[in-house]
């Protein structure tokens, strides 16, 4: 690792504050509540649904300053995050002091990190540390897994890694969902996991995976964890559903975990033979471009991914990431 990727110094007060926060949250993490299985109902006869409002957590990013996208390779998960954030100008460009920041990893399945079905827990923890170093008052980690949420967060290692650095894990309990109008082409009123949008900033942290329906599941598909209800109903027109969600929620930053990737039998995986360790990470402000890069790691032509082109047509980003000022860093 080069000297450019050394860790940010934390002052004495922040160190003790974070240590206390981590201790308190670690106690809570050992007793995460049992999931309420009844949370699988699409809202019926909704009364006076609220108007659709785009949740835009993006920041102004002046062209000609730091690059809009960075690709880093040949490091540990923490080293990859450190190098990417340094090249992007530091987390302080994205997170302000006293911000509440939500981290949205993929915690879809009750799998261990070596199976590459969920975001690498060390990536999640290091991103949370960068947020605290930038002055965040609170860092929340949340998702709505397909498997049992409590077991998925624990078995993935994400509950423990988040707690170890003082971040708070929020389970998708029934009372945390509210009907919300997403204003999409096929996604209108739907139950939304409200802690994910009641925040100052949100960072999407997907993993690179094969998907048996969409061919890939990356950043834009990762927003499905925002939804309650019968999400399987959306599979009939999944490309439009993905873009409806991406139109509704605009992240501050997308950090794509490619330390290990699931190259086949996704999105759940399970067989270690389906996993490839590539030790890479991409980060950027253009979620479409980041997804396009992730698709290349799976050998998928972006021209075959309809949702990316639909997203570009809605002005959500650039499909051809090579047209951007992309910095490629190899840690030595």
* Percent over 90 (pLDDT), the chain: 77
Average pLDDT (209-223) is 96
User: What is the chain's length?
Assistant: 332
Least confidently predicted of 15-19, 259-263, 309-313 = 15-19
* Percent over 70 (pLDDT), the chain: 83
Average pLDDT (172-193) is 94
| Domain map (residue ranges) of the chain | 15-27+53-330
C-alpha distances in Å from residue 271, one per residue of 116, 158, 254, 266, 298: 10, 20, 27, 10, 17
Average pLDDT (189-197) is 95
**CB-hemisphere CA count at 13 Å for 27?**
5
Give dist(CA 173, CA 151) in Å, integer.
Answer: 14
Average pLDDT (193-211) is 97
Does residue 24 surpass a pLDDT of 80? no
pLDDT tens digits along 113-167? 999 999 999 999 999 999 999 999 999 999 999 999 999 999 999 999 999 999 9
- pLDDT for 61 equals 62
- pLDDT for 210 equals 97
Q: Which residues contact 168 (CB under 8 A, 6 or more apart)?
A: 25, 138, 139, 140, 141, 162
C-alpha distances in Å from residue 60, one per residue of 132, 249, 317: 21, 16, 15
User: Which residues, in sequence order, are bridge partners of residue 42?
Assistant: none
**pLDDT level of residue 44 (50, 70, 90 thresholds):** very low
Does residue 40 surpass a pLDDT of 90? no
> CATH second-level architecture of 15-27+53-330?
3-Layer(aba) Sandwich (3.40)
- pLDDT for 15 equals 43
Give dist(CA 186, CA 244) in Å, integer.
Answer: 7
Q: Rg (Cα) of the chain, in Å, rounded?
A: 18
Does residue 12 surpass a pLDDT of 90? no
Least confidently predicted of 24-28, 31-35, 108-112, 224-228 = 31-35
Tell which wins on pLDDT, 26 or 70. Answer: 70
Least confidently predicted of 4-18, 54-68, 198-212 = 4-18
pLDDT tens digits along 278-329? 999 999 999 999 999 999 999 999 999 999 999 999 999 999 999 999 999 9
Does residue 16 surpass a pLDDT of 50? no
């Amino acid at each position: 690792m080069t000297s450019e990727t050394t860790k940010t110094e934390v002052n004495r007060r922040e160190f003790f504050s974070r240590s206390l926060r981590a201790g308190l949250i670690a106690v809570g993490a050992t007793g995460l509540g049992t999931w309420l299985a009844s949370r699988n109902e699409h809202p019926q006869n909704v009364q006076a649904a609220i108007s659709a409002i785009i949740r835009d957590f993006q920041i102004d990013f002046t062209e000609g300053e730091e690059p809009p996208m960075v690709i880093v390779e040949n490091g540990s998960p923490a080293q990859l995050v450190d190098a990417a954030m340094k090249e992007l100008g530091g987390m302080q460009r994205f997170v302000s002091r006293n911000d509440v920041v939500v981290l949205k990893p993929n915690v879809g399945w009750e799998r261990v990190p070596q199976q590459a079905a969920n975001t690498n827990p060390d990536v999640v923890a290091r991103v949370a540390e960068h947020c605290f170093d930038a002055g965040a008052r609170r860092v929340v980690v949340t998702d709505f897994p397909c498997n049992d949420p409590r077991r998925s967060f624990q078995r993935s290692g994400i509950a423990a890694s988040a707690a170890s650095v003082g971040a708070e894990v929020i389970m998708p309990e029934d009372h945390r969902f509210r009907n919300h109008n997403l204003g999409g082409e096929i996604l209108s009123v739907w139950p939304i996991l409200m802690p994910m949008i009641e925040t100052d900033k949100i960072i999407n942290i997907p993993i690179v995976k094969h998907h048996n329906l969409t061919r890939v599941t990356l950043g834009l598909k990762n927003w499905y964890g925002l939804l309650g209800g019968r999400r399987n109903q959306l599979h009939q027109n999944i490309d439009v559903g993905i873009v409806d969600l991406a139109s509704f929620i605009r992240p501050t930053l997308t950090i794509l975990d490619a330390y290990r990737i699931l190259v086949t039998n996704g999105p759940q995986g399970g067989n270690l033979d389906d996993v490839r360790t590539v030790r890479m990470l991409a980060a950027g402000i253009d979620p479409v471009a980041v997804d396009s890069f992730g698709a290349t790691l799976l050998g998928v032509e972006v021209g075959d991914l309809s949702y990316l082109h639909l997203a570009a047509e809605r002005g959500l980003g650039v499909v051809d990431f090579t047209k951007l000022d992309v910095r490629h860093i190899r840690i030595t």
